[in-house]
Amino acid sequence: MFYIHQSTCISPQESFDQVNLATLHLPTDNKLLVIEPGYENIPPGMLRRMGKAVRIGVGAGMRLIKNTDSVLNGIIIGTAIGGMEDCIKFLNQIVDYEEGQLTPGNFVQATPNAIAAQIGLLSKNKSYNITHVHRGLSFENAMLDVDMLLSEHPDHQYLLGGVDEISLYNYNIDRLAGWYKKVDINGKDIYQLNTAGSIAGEGATMFIVNKQKENSTAVVRAIGTLHTTTVEEVQRQLQKFLDKHLLPGEKIDLFLSGENGDNRDLPFYNACESLLDAGTSVARFKHMCGEFATASAVACWISTQIFKTQSIPSHMMKKAAEVQQYRRVLIYNNHKHIQHSFLLLTLPQQ
C-alpha cells in the first residue's frame, strides 16, 4: 500500500494544464493521439532530438518534479514500446547509410529506458532509475516495484509513471493482427459495435508516491496481476482479490472498466462486473485514451480526479448507481486477452 500525492497526465483529452474531462476529443483515423503541451521544463536543444514517447514522458515527469520540494529517491517507469519509433528510424539508417555515419540521437532515444534516464539527467537525480517492460503489465510491475521499495524504505518517495506512444511500426503490426477496428468510429461508438478490435491510443501518466498519508489524494491499496485466457480463472482471481483486500462491510463504489470495444474481451469484463453488487457504478475510459499497454496508468489518474471532484463525466458511465461518495475504485484491465490486472484505489481516510 502507498499514497499518491501528485499526478499528471498527457493524453488525447484535456488532462494536462487545465483538466476538462467532460469534453470528449474524438479519434482521427482510429487513433487517439495525445494533445501535446508546451514543454517549458525541457531545453529546446534536447526537445527537438527527443522521440515522442520520451518527449511526453519527460514532459509529464518534469512537471511533477518541478512542483515538489521533496527529494525523489527513484524514478520508476513502466512502458511496453517506449522509444520504438526511434529504434526503427535508427535501424533504417543502418540500411540507408550502409552502416556509415549514423545519427546518434535516434540511437540514444531508441531504448525503453530512455524516458526514465532523461528525467534523471534533467532533474540531476542519481538515485534508483529503472524501467519495467512487460507488455500489458508494464505499469503494474512498476507499481509493484514501488510498493516493495516503500515497504523497505517507508521514508522514501518515488516518481512512478506509465508511458507509451503510437509507433507506426507497432501500429501496422497490430492492425494487421486484428487488434484495431477496420471501420472508422467516433468516440463512444467503440462500445456499440459488436466486432473485434479497438482504437489505438497513447499517453504519459506520472505520480509522486510515498508512505505519507498527509495531503495525499489517493491510496493504492492493492495490485493484482495474472496471465490467463480463461474467463472463469479471471473471475475466480478477482473474487479472491476482493475477499483479501476489502474489509468487512466494505464494497466497491466504482468499477472502472478497461472495456475497449473488442467483443473478444467482453466476456472477461462482463464476468468481473457480475461479481459486483447493484450499488456499484460502472464506468469506462478507453474511448478517452484508446487501447495501449499502459492504459491502466491513465485509469489510475482518472481515479484520482474522481476522488478530487466526486464526479464522473456522463460519457464515461455505463451504469450509474446511487453512490453517496466515491471512496473505493476497482480498476480491471485486460491486454490482448491474456494479461489481466486488478487495482484497488481508495480515498486516503479509508
pLDDT tens per residue across span 28-64:
999 999 999 999 989 998 898 888 999 999 999 999 9
pLDDT for the residue numbered 32: 96
Domains of the chain: 2-210 (3.40.47.10), 218-346 (3.40.47.10)
**Amino acid making up residue 56:** I
Q: What's the pLDDT at 59? A: 97
For position 107, what pLDDT does the model report? 65
Residue 93 has a pLDDT of 75
Indicate yes or no: pTM above 0.75. yes
CA dist list (Å): 62 to 9, 103, 148, 237, 250: 12, 26, 24, 37, 37
Which residue positions in the chain have pLDDT lower than 50?
none
Ramachandran sector of residue 274 (left: φ over 0; alpha: ψ -120 to 50; beta: rest): alpha
How close are the terminal C-alpha atoms of the chain, in Å? Answer: 12
Q: What is the pLDDT of residue 102?
A: 73
pLDDT at 109: 66
Could you read off the pLDDT of 255-283 as tens digits, one per residue? Answer: 999 999 999 999 999 999 999 999 999 99
For the stretch 18-30, what's the b/e string if a residue is b when 16 or more beta carbons lie within 10 angstroms of its beta carbon? eeebeebeebeeb
What pLDDT is stored for residue 3 in this prediction?
A: 98
Q: State the Cα–Cα distance between residues 275 and 67, nearest whole angstrom.
A: 40
Closest CA to 120 of 69, 74, 88: 74
CA 310 to centroid of chain Cα atoms: 21
